[in-house]
Structure 1
């Protein structure tokens, strides 16, 4: 429960500050990797992220194997504010579990959601809000490549969601079903040279007998506006399952609204060993419109600044003005 207290403390510290998340001209995907960015997709942006994968696991002491496929997915939408995002996330898997502990191998075919969560993420602090575009030093190449200490201050977002687990789910611990809360703190540092560091601290299935704590660290590097590579580590700790997973891969920006990616996942233990290959895509429907800023130059404001005409006596409908010689 200490993690929850820390999460809400961070929220109270930063929520009093006025923040503004910047909408990006190109897609802002959480892929590749499984960590969550601190930034939202932007208001009136609908985004779908899907990653089919193949999975192989082998538990040496128990002499069982798992082989199959699955898909992880996320639907994200920017609502009301630039900082706010609502999302639906989940993992569906179909596999065959083979028990080789006896004289005869016993196969069990399984298929279900490993997770299904509805939640919302809010950016509570953005250090890049007023940074703007820094001008390069035209006289020093070294000055443009030096480390900037202010980049150590991360953007911070908080997440709250609800898990919906089905009854008798073979992927989950015993007696885990129905609703359970999930919270997360996500940070993001954007360093010079195209490096980005993301950290997630997650407390999942809160209130159940098998609540777990997770951390995810993701380091990405973009070579150019289209290609990016990443390395990621994910730690999971609970009474039901504990692991340290490592991922490597990359992504390609096909267009400003479409991204492709791939990743390899593995670990270093045999209880069980994990090997997975993932191919993913991200696509957005961009209906974002920048809010108009009232700078006092609108037609209505211009009309207000015009000098007012002096009030005079109203002429009668039948009155006509004549010159001295009687002409109009």
Structure 2
């Protein structure tokens, strides 16, 4: 019993350290869903998220069929502050269209967005969770505080190039943009963590191509469930409306953690209309470089301190810094240790 008390008392000091920073021990990717998470990757952290997909499209009123492929690339870079993240989001698509009269191809950048995201409210900041050292079940019960989301804002710009058939999210067969334009994009982002943190709900409410002739508005809701330390799955619903195109899409998929800095994923998407009817299937990966992050959590929240050249000889007999395999996910380790005494 004494060991349990000592462990839980230690958690009182470790929880604030874990939630105060944006950086986490394990990579936190937006893939394979389309929502943007409220939290940044962390100061001095660079993260790339890459996907490849196939597409099948059928339009019952314009009488065409299309098949093709695409790739999307997102670069996330934490700079200046833990809460601030700069983002480049680029998507390229290539399709072959078949109509009763002809066959032709369309290819171009479907999306080119540059912007920044900032966390304006973190419900875990300066919050110390009360831990009952006598009851494990009491510590797992529902808390009304879980309904308070983390809140971020994103502001950026769409770069629309001339003669782009995918400009403004259109699916009109013979539409092409008439010139180069820069159109603002803004987004409100919320994120809730439920239960022991394995359930995560992310909401994006966006206004796209603002100030252009074809503005659009939409939302994305993503519910993610962590099954264990490696596997997670998600369900997602997206809605979008503009004068050129409106649709609703459902998605589902899973992600697998190869290492603390590498994740792979797969997903399927289907829209809910037949003008056009669209089916996507894709795979992807995310990779992170965080060696420059100063607040890396290692072995229950202790930060790694780089040794200076002057002290190298003095520290020969001291314990070496942990290897990558020794770096652990704090939350997962806590659950495993608590389960032993349940």
Instruction: Give the TM-score band, short-chain normalised.
Output: 0.7 to 0.9
Aligned partners of 2:36, 2:130: CA distance in 1, in Å?
Answer: 27
Aligned residues: 269
Q: Give CA deviations for 1:216-274 in whole Å, capped at 9, x if unaligned.
A: 00000001121100000000000001000000001011100000111100022101111
* Candidates 263, 288, 291, aligned match of 2:293: 288
Q: Quick one: distance in 2 between partners of 1:61 and 1:21?
A: 52
Asked if 2 retains the 8 angstrom alpha-carbon contact of 1:176 and 1:208, the reply is: no
CA–CA separation in structure 2 for the residues paired with 1:134 and 1:40: 26
Unaligned regions of 5+ residues in structure 1, if any?
A: 1-18, 293-328
Q: Aligned runs of 1:1-328 on 2, under 5 Å?
A: 21-100=21-100, 105-132=101-128, 135=131, 138-139=134-135, 141=137, 143-172=138-167, 174-175=177-178, 177-193=180-196, 194-286=198-290, 287-290=292-295
Deviations 1:20-43 (A, max 9, x none): 543111111111201000000001
Normalised to the residue count of structure 1, the TM-score between the two structures is: 0.78
Query: Secondary structure of the residue that 1:175 maps to in structure 2?
Result: coil
Q: Is the 8 A contact 2:20 2:126 kept in 1?
A: no
Deviation at 1:178, TM superposition (A): 1.9
Report the aligned-residue RMSD.
1.9
Greater helix fraction, Structure 1 or Structure 2: 2
What do the CA deviations read for 1:159-182 (whole angstroms, capped 9, x no partner)? 110111110111126436321111
Distance in 2, matches of 1:236 and 1:228, equals: 26
Q: Distance in 2 between matches of 1:87 and 1:201?
A: 17
Q: List per-residue Cα deviations over 1:54-106 (Å, max 9, x = no partner).
A: 00111111111121000111001000000000010011001112223xxxx41
Separation in 1, partners of 2:67, 2:133: 55
Gap change, CA 1:65 and 1:136, over 3 Å in 2: farther
Q: Where do 4+ consecutive residues of structure 1 move more than 4 Å?
A: none
User: For 2:24 and 2:130, how far apart are their aligned partners in 1?
Assistant: 17
The structure number with the bigger radius of gyration is 1
SS at match of 1:151: helix
* 1:252-308 Cα distance to aligned partner (Å, 9 max, x none): 11100000111100022101111000101000111211299xxxxxxxxxxxxxxxx
Which segments of 5 or more consecutive residues in structure 2 lack a partner in the other structure? 1-18, 168-175, 296-304, 307-342
TM-score (norm 2): 0.75
Instruction: Give the conservation status (yes or no) of the 8 Å contact 1:48–1:73.
Output: yes
